[in-house]
């Protein structure tokens, strides 16, 4: 057989597998889109990958891709699955039906992974539809080429995979001399090749469309749920006054004092955002307590709700980093709930779990402290919590990093002891307790952006949740530390904006910042990485002035 024929065959064989896989993935996304609380097999597989990935791999992914880490993972998963499709097509061509088996195995994965992740019987539907359609396309696509080949007036061609995907049998040729040379004739091979390509292309396009429609649909259903969520929010007993004008310096490039929900950083291990409705939500309070109890949504909203300004901080935030945000939360205090359960004297920790099994270890004293507003939050900035930020209920505890306190989709509070239970990140080398460290950040001038000489501002934010920030100092080119002007503070639990006038002269300048805590502590310049309990050091930038 001539190489030209073989090459064309290989391409068609791979295309056959890819088309089958795209139809499978697309139909699964479409079906999953109609069942918004059930992830598509693709999402389930990617989620499983997150779960089984070692801690260092996850940290690397966050470091390289930041909050785009999940998008990158989806892209990689899609590419791998397409690759498997192509390989299946090529295998089928060599040794049928080995390619069909590869696809069937992929189908088993699409069925098993969502099942193992506990999505219920309905959760099997996307994988089932995907497997059936992918196999149908895989088996039937080659027949399209054949049928066209058999059509009157159209002679044989050998580039389309045969029905079983094997190397096409050399068919008895009526005319002599019609070997591989015919391949170059436009007419004979053209019709069946075109038919095959048209079908393969059309089916692939349909698969992509189905995937787009499916993801759009689940997005729309989610928005509908979010709107319904706002209507069910409890009314706060006490509200906060509007954010005072003096809290927002309004400097271009400076982080706004209240972070819009859409810009709020997101850090979690949940590849599939749990879709937990208020109706399905229940909270169990138990463990080393005299009076365990459970709460449903209606019990929850009957409690006292208040508004709280609090800045959330991720322990993985490097010095100068952006894994932090400030919101006005609507919540109810955890303290009365913990007291109601009557913890035993020996208890010193509350292990909170989310619906997907993630856990955080919060010191019990932080939740019982009358001076610390540890809450169960249901809304941020006037919006019901979006699923990404923990709907319908999450924890927020001022002064503790998120990994030991800010459990999203929280469904379980177990009163226990640090020497008895450990939490998700503790098991991966992070400190069991994570008090927030005194820190400050320079937002303006922006690194990498040209600055022209003349009067300008140096500005940023500083935080020491639960303690408060008393001052911020700035040092330019190793000179004296100069006090910055602080904006109006929203309270000890939030960051505060700061600014300093600066006469920028041409050249390269180094600017450093440090904060002073309300307890007199001066932010250390000793550099420490984020592991195991949060970064330290002064945020220092180099700025070129023209």
Ligand X SMILES: Nc1nc2c(c(=O)[nH]1)N[C@H]1C(S)=C(S)[C@@H](COP(=O)(O)O)O[C@H]1N2
List residues binding ligand X (CB under 6 A).
264-270, 312, 314, 354, 358, 389, 402-403, 406-409
d(CA 486, CA 518): 13
Least distance between Mo ion and beta carbon 402 (Å): 4
Tokens 């934010």 map to which residue?
461
Peptide bond into 193 cis (omega under 30): no
Judged by CB under 5 A, which stretch of 50-58, 325-333, 358-366, 402-410 contacts Mo ion?
A: 402-410
Select the residue whose beta carbon is closest to ligand X and give its number. 402
Least distance between Mo ion and beta carbon 325 (Å): 12
Q: Considering CB distances under 5 to 8 angstroms, the limit depending on partner class, which of ligand X, Mo ion, none binds residue 329?
A: none
Least distance between Mo ion and beta carbon 494 (Å): 18
d(CA 406, CA 410): 9
d(CA 27, CA 61): 29
Q: Provide the Cα torsion 394, 398, 401, 405; round to 10°.
A: -40
Strand partners, 359: 353
Q: Is there binding between residue 267 and Mo ion (CB under 5 A)?
A: yes
**Torsion-angle region of 209 (φ positive above 0: left; ψ -120 to 50: alpha; else: beta):** alpha
Q: Considering CB distances under 5 to 8 angstroms, the limit depending on partner class, which of ligand X, Mo ion, none binds residue 144?
A: none
Q: Considering CB distances under 5 to 8 angstroms, the limit depending on partner class, which of Mo ion, ligand X, none binds residue 354?
A: ligand X
Least distance between Mo ion and beta carbon 375 (Å): 18
Q: Considering CB distances under 5 to 8 angstroms, the limit depending on partner class, which of Mo ion, ligand X, none binds residue 414?
A: none
Pairing label, strands 282-287, 410-416: parallel
Q: Where are the alpha helices (DSSP H) in 35-68?
A: 41-52, 55-65
Are the C-beta atoms of residues 413 and 367 closer than 8 Å to each other?
no
The binder of Mo ion chosen from 30, 144, 211, 314 (CB under 5 A): 314
Select the residue whose beta carbon is closest to Mo ion and give its number. 314
Least distance between ligand X and beta carbon 354 (Å): 3
Q: Give whichever of 267 and 295 is closer to Mo ion, judged by the CB atom.
A: 267
Structural tokens at position 3: 């190489």
Beta strands in 464-539 (DSSP E): 469-476, 482-483, 485-486, 496-504, 507-517
Helix (H) or strand (E) holding 454: strand 454-463
Q: Give whichever of 204 and 494 is closer to ligand X, judged by the CB atom.
A: 494
Q: Considering CB distances under 5 to 8 angstroms, the limit depending on partner class, which of Mo ion, ligand X, none binds residue 389?
A: ligand X
Q: Give whichever of 255 and 312 is closer to ligand X, judged by the CB atom.
A: 312
Judged by CB under 5 A, which stretch of 185-193, 281-289, 312-320, 332-340 contacts Mo ion?
A: 312-320
d(CA 361, CA 434): 9
Q: Give whichever of 316 and 497 is closer to ligand X, judged by the CB atom.
A: 316
Q: Give whichever of 98 and 269 is closer to Mo ion, judged by the CB atom.
A: 269
**Torsion-angle region of 27 (φ positive above 0: left; ψ -120 to 50: alpha; else: beta):** alpha
d(CA 84, CA 81): 5
d(CA 401, CA 200): 51
Q: Give whichever of 461 and 484 is closer to ligand X, judged by the CB atom.
A: 461
Q: Is there binding between residue 403 and Mo ion (CB under 5 A)?
A: yes
Q: Give whichever of 392 and 402 is closer to Mo ion, judged by the CB atom.
A: 402
DSSP 538: -
Least distance between ligand X and beta carbon 329 (Å): 11
Q: Is there binding between residue 402 and Mo ion (CB under 5 A)?
A: yes
Least distance between ligand X and beta carbon 265 (Å): 5
Tokens 């539809």 map to which residue?
129
Q: Considering CB distances under 5 to 8 angstroms, the limit depending on partner class, which of Mo ion, ligand X, none binds residue 514?
A: none
Least distance between ligand X and beta carbon 353 (Å): 8
* Binding residues vs Mo ion (CB under 5 A): 267, 314, 402-403
């Amino acid at each position: 057989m001539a190489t030209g024929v073989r090459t064309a065959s290989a391409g068609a064989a791979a295309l056959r597998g890819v088309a089958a896989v795209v139809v499978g993935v697309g139909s699964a996304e479409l079906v999953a889109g109609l069942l918004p609380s059930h992830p598509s097999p693709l999402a389930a597989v990617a989620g499983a990958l997150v779960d089984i990935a070692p801690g260092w791999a996850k940290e690397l992914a966050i470091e390289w891709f930041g909050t785009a880490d999940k998008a990158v993972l989806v892209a990689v998963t899609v590419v791998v699955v397409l690759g498997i499709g192509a390989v299946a097509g090529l295998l089928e061509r060599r040794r049928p039906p080995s390619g069909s088996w590869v696809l069937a195995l992929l189908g088993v994965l699409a069925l098993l992974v969502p099942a193992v992740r506990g999505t219920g019987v309905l959760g099997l539907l996307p994988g089932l539809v995907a497997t059936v359609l992918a196999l149908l396309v895989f088996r039937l696509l080659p027949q399209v080429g054949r049928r066209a080949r058999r059509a009157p007036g159209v002679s044989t061609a050998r580039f389309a995979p045969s029905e079983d995907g094997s190397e096409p049998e050399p068919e008895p040729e009526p005319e002599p001399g019609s070997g591989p040379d015919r391949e170059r004739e436009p007419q004979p091979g053209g019709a069946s090749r075109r038919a095959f390509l048209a079908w393969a292309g059309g089916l692939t396009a349909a698969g992509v469309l189905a995937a787009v429609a499916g993801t759009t649909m689940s997005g729309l259903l989610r928005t509908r749920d979010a709107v319904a969520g706002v209507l069910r929010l409890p009314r706060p007993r006490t509200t906060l006054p509007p954010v005072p004008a003096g809290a927002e310096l309004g400097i271009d490039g400076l982080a706004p004092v209240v972070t819009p929900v859409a810009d709020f950083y997101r850090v979690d291990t949940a590849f599939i955002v749990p879709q937990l409705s208020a109706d399905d939500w229940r909270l169990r309070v138990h463990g080393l307590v005299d009076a365990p109890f459970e709460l449903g949504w209606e019990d929850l909203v009957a409690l006292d709700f208040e508004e709280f300004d609090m800045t959330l901080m991720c322990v993985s935030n490097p010095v100068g980093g952006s894994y932090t945000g400030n919101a006005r939360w609507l919540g109810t205090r955890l303290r009365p709930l913990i007291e109601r359960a009557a913890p035993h004297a020996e208890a010193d920790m509350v292990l909170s779990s989310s619906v997907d099994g993630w856990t955080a270890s919060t010191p019990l004293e932080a939740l019982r402290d009358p001076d610390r507003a540890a809450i169960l939050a249901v809304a941020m900035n006037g919006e019901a919590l979006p699923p990404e930020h923990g709907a319908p209920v999450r924890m927020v505890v001022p002064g503790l990093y998120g990994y030991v306190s800010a459990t999203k989709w929280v469904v379980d509070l177990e009163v226990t002891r640090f020497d008895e239970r450990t939490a998700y990140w503790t098991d991966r080398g992070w400190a069991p307790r994570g008090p927030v460290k005194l820190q400050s950040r320079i937002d303006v001038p922006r690194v990498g952006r040209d600055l022209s000489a003349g009067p300008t501002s140096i500005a940023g934010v500083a935080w020491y949740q639960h303690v408060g920030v008393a001052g911020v100092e700035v040092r330019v080119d190793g000179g004296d530390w100069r006090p910055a002007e602080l904006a109006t503070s929203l309270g000890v639990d939030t960051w505060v904006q700061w600014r300093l006038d600066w006469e920028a002269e041409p050249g390269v300048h180094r600017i450093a910042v440090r904060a002073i805590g309300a307890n007199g502590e001066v932010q250390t310049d000793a550099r420490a990485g984020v592991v195991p309990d949060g970064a330290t050091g002064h945020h220092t930038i180099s700025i070129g002035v023209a």
